[in-house]
Amino acid sequence: MTEEAERVIRLWRAAEMFSPRPLPEPDIRENVFSVDGGPLPWQPSGRLYGRGGDWRHEVFGGIFRLGGALPATSGESALFTCTVSASGELLAGPDVSECAWAAGQLALGEEAGASGDPSAWLTASSGAGRLPVARENLPGLPSAITVPALERFAAELAQLLGVTALLSPAGLRVRSYTGPAAAGSPLAGYFAADLARVAGSGSGPALRAFLEAEAEAEASAGNRVDVRVNPLAVRDGCSPGRMPAGRWPADDPLVLSEQFAVNEILASGAPLSAVGAPDGATPVFHDLIAAIVTERALALSALPSPEAGFGEPLAWGSHSVSPPKASLTGFEIVAASPGPGEPSGLGDAGPRWRERASGYFASTARLAGGDPWALIRARLDGAAECRAFTNRFWHGRIRGSEVLFVAGEPLRSALRSAGGPGGGWPASVAAFRAALDETEFLSSERISAADTLARFSALEAECEEAYSRLEQAEARASEMVSREPAVREAVVAAEERRRAAADDLRAHQSDRPGLTVAMSTGLRASREWYAAHADLRSVLAAAMAARDSALSQAQELRSGLAAERQTAARSRETADRCAAAMEALQAPAAAARKRWGDHVPEGPSYAETEDAALIERRENSAPWSDPEYASARTSAFLAALALHEAWIRANAGVVEANLSAWAEMVSGRPGPAGPEESAGPPPAEVALAAWQTFFLVVPVVSVSLGSAGALLDGLGPDSLGWLLADGCGGVPPRHLAGVLWRARRAVVAGCPDPGSAGDDCALTRAARATRFGTLLPDGTWTGLPLYQRPGRDPVPDPADRSVSDTEMLRAVLSDLRQRARSRRGTRAG
């Protein structure tokens, strides 16, 4: 990892320290209580005293307000948390707030942040009073938990951290619950654990491109292509040879910019791409999913047998988990949204395709999500959703009135009732290959037509250029011909002047004075003659030079005229040749236009950069996506899904064993103990194999960025194939670090914000690593822009764009310094 990347991650970690998740608000229905001198829930007279069940109590002590103590933050946090049993015994903790620790450290002295890096203190090796947060540094907390013990611990901890006056912590709060505990520290930011993992390991291709986007942008600025200035690059990028085999079952095809984004992302192989999506990236993400699933189906179809898709089993307690072969991995898709309940850029099939698209484990899909299309993606946003989905999808457990109207079976039952090994596998492979063959055949027709049109277009351009050269050459030749008489007259006149000068010189030579005359005049006559002779020689030399210049000009005129006539002849020959070749292509080009109509990308609109009406017509076109071809590509995707189902059913036993382990993992239950092994979290290779199997069944997992780290806790770098993140126009870059760390390739989309700088906005940072894009009015580069439909407002990104991580840290640092000075001044007084 480069020094600059380490600096960026350090900044993100420091900003996350001051962004802890808010404490749960007191709510009797949720069993969250404030303790104001009364009994604790597990004590006699407490609210939950004597109740049955496996109750646990999460205690928050030393509560302080974030908004009042720390600028640019809001809500409440606490100095520490611990977990207490139903009988009041300490089970886990105490865990200390990093936010409180960091506030105390920053307030210690002026050297914090003095280097100009507001996060430099985070890795300072020494300093006055610096205190590592470690269990051995903490005051004692008795095993039997009481209110006085908790209050005493909070006061001693505040003194130790140096935040007694700074944060004014006070009060206790308890959250009581049954079942597994929520993942992650309740006092840390949602992204703290992932940022710690990223800081402690190398970065994969997607995260590395994200971290080094600014340097990469400077190095590759000359290779950028502004698609608004060069629209023909988009037209060429939508050629049928670049279309993926699979297409999402939508009623309408992608428009020009959307199809170009899909084609470019898939063809470029770039680990990181940005999509500027004012209306949202749903259509682009849909087709990316279809293309990825179809590509994995191609790998499935290449297996010599269904059983060849798994390797040797791994043990986790009593579980046996068989990892999928490497050829079947790297296709996992995580669709991320900025916050809980927000759209992740995904939907279901279009109405026209709904019936055909409902065949993929339809019974389980109806049970899991109430929609036959629901098993294409699973929304696993938080522990409650994970448990609810797992109960429906795997165990078939449902609650309430739905029990009366359930139609469907859990996947575990579907696997147990599956046919024997092989089952419908050969037929599914044949159907998938037939669908691919049909798509390839239709694609080859359009590729041929596209090549014909490309040649026709190139010939047309060459012909126009030849005619232009012909006209220019003929114009220059005509101008030269008009100058010929004057040039000839100039040559004749110059020759006459030369002859006259030569005659004068010969006559003067014949009149040279003899010796007698010269002597009789005292040599005066001889001197006069020589002077006149010299003048005549000069006149002759000048006349000869003028004559030679006139001859040279005449020669140049003749040569130029010959050259222009030759150029005109060659241009006429080229124009005639191009016209003949165009005539031969006219019929197939016309046939393509007649057959596919407006789906044939030609005409002046495809090169237009000024005319709004032509641009709108171009941007709303769907090149080479005529109904026949679009339907074949959709059928290929549906055949790919059918092949997945056939392969899963053919490996029912292995898949059931793997998903049984996965269900234990995501439900938050400890793993089952084997005969020689205690219960505990699965080894990394087991967790990876279980997740890879789940993604083979459910291609897409939808999750909010804040929940992704906890959900994917057991997965390391490069463990996932794709991240599709929408709504990132105002998302801080640190929110994407963990999921990018796990992904091999990533697409970051959102509504471009002209006011966001690269360090403050995930979309803008990702755009710097994207070759194709356009410039916003303020000069910011945005990647792969999608055309915004006229009359539609941009989809707002939900994140707060008002304060960047750097600004927030500097504000916190300044405020804490001021508070520390005031406190020291008060003590000194």
Distance in angstroms (rounded) separating the CA atoms of residues 551 and 534: 26
Q: Is 222 exposed, middle or buried (0-12, 13-18, 19+ CB in 10 A)?
A: exposed
In terms of pTM, does the model score above 0.85?
A: no
pLDDT band at 261 (very low <50, low <70, confident <90, very high): very high
Helices (H), 352-424: 362-369, 383-390, 411-416
Judge whether 337 and 345 are in contact, CB under 8 Å: yes
Integer CA distances (angstroms), 577 to 177, 468, 571, in order: 84, 15, 10
Distance in angstroms (rounded) separating the CA atoms of residues 510 and 516: 16
Distance in angstroms (rounded) separating the CA atoms of residues 365 and 700: 13
228-251 CB burial, b ≥16 within 10 A, e <16: eeebeebbbbbbbebbbbbbbbbe
Quote the pLDDT of residue 634.
94
Distance in angstroms (rounded) separating the CA atoms of residues 247 and 266: 13
Distance in angstroms (rounded) separating the CA atoms of residues 493 and 495: 5
Quote the pLDDT of residue 383.
81
Distance in angstroms (rounded) separating the CA atoms of residues 57 and 701: 31
Q: Which of 393, 424, 217 is closest to 306 using CA atoms? A: 424
My answer on whether omega of the bond before 71 falls inside 30° of 0, hence cis, is no
Over 60: is that where the pLDDT of 367 sits? Answer: yes
Span of 108-112, 160-164, 235-239, 278-282 with lowest mean pLDDT: 108-112
Task: Looking at mean pLDDT, say which of 11-15, 198-202, 457-461, 565-569 comes out highest.
Answer: 565-569
For residue 35, what is the enclosing H or E element?
strand 32-35
pLDDT band at 640 (very low <50, low <70, confident <90, very high): very high
Judge whether 48 and 55 are in contact, CB under 8 Å: yes
User: How many Cα atoms occupy the beta-carbon half-sphere of 299 within 13 Å?
Assistant: 17
What's the mean pLDDT in 549-572? 92
Quote the pLDDT of residue 804.
66
- Show Cβ contacts of residue 442 under 8 Å, excluding neighbours closer than 6 positions: 628, 629, 632
Average pLDDT across the chain, whole number: 83
Q: How would DSSP label each residue in 477-505? A: HHHHHHHHHHHHHHHHHHHHHHHHHHHHH
Distance in angstroms (rounded) separating the CA atoms of residues 583 and 599: 22
The Cα angle at residue 85 between residues 80 and 88, in degrees rounded to 5? 85
Over 50: is that where the pLDDT of 355 sits? Answer: yes
For residue 437, what are its two tokens? 């063959």
Per-residue pLDDT tens for 683-723?
999 999 999 999 999 999 999 998 898 899 889 999 999 99
Per-residue pLDDT tens for 58-113?
999 999 887 654 554 567 889 999 898 888 888 887 888 888 888 887 776 544 44
Per-residue pLDDT tens for 804-821?
666 666 666 666 666 656
Distance in angstroms (rounded) separating the CA atoms of residues 346 and 324: 26
Integer CA distances (angstroms), 221 to 215, 228, 236, 706, 773, in order: 10, 16, 21, 33, 11
The percent of residues in the chain predicted with pLDDT above 70, rounded, is 81
In three-state secondary structure terms, 521 is coil
Quote the pLDDT of residue 267.
94
Q: Which of 606, 572, 685 is closest to 324 using CA atoms? A: 685
